[in-house]
Amino acid sequence: MPPVCYNAGREQIRKEGLHLLTAMLTACGIEDADERELVQQLFFTYGRQVKALARHILHNEQDVEDAMHDTFLKIIRYRKKFTDADPTETKRLIVILTKSVCFNLYRRKKRECDLFAAEDGEPDLQSAGEIDAIEAFLAHESAARLRDAINTLPAPAREIVLLKYYGDLSNTEIAALLGIPASTVGTILWRSLKKIKERTEAYFCDNNG
């Protein structure tokens, strides 16, 4: 009897997962039957591994569910990468995407925690010191300018920068995900960082001159 209940529970989870995945495919405008079947097969084959990796990184069940959702949104986005991939390459790409999503989620949660901690009370400038307050302002201003500079990059370069520094992926992992040579990733990163540096330095020179 227990195995029957266990199998019934797994079947219920499978149905719920399929329902959510179908809704995601529809929301993303994926109508091709072969593409939908491919994504569904990836979900049923690798879904448990994605969840296990997310749980290992995040240690929070709600965050794990969010990571599952976001990972399969990325799988849908990059679905064509999986069309001709062998099982080893498929698993590697899914691990890359899962890691990227989890580290992004972790950083976002950490920023939210830091924000709430800062809002617990007004800073005491006399005890903290005006210099600390100025440094905090400059750090916030620098982060804002950095985001603005990244957003001015062409879409392909911006994606590579975000995958590298916010997704915590290596050049080789980015190359595998985007289907370009690792040397090209390195070149784009070098040029992009040069542009970002020029834009941020120009801003602070203009405002301090």
**What radius of gyration, in Å, describes the C-alpha atoms of the chain?**
22
Domain assignments of the chain as residue spans, ordered by start: 1-121, 127-209
Alpha-carbon torsion (108, 47, 169, 182), positive or negative: negative
Structure token digits, residue 196: 């970002």
Q: What is the mean pLDDT of the chain?
A: 76
**pTM of structure:** 0.59
Tens digits of residue pLDDT in 80-134? 888 887 888 888 888 888 888 888 887 777 665 554 454 444 444 344 444 444 4
The confidence score (pLDDT) of residue 3 equals 43
CATH of domain 127-209: 1.10.10.10
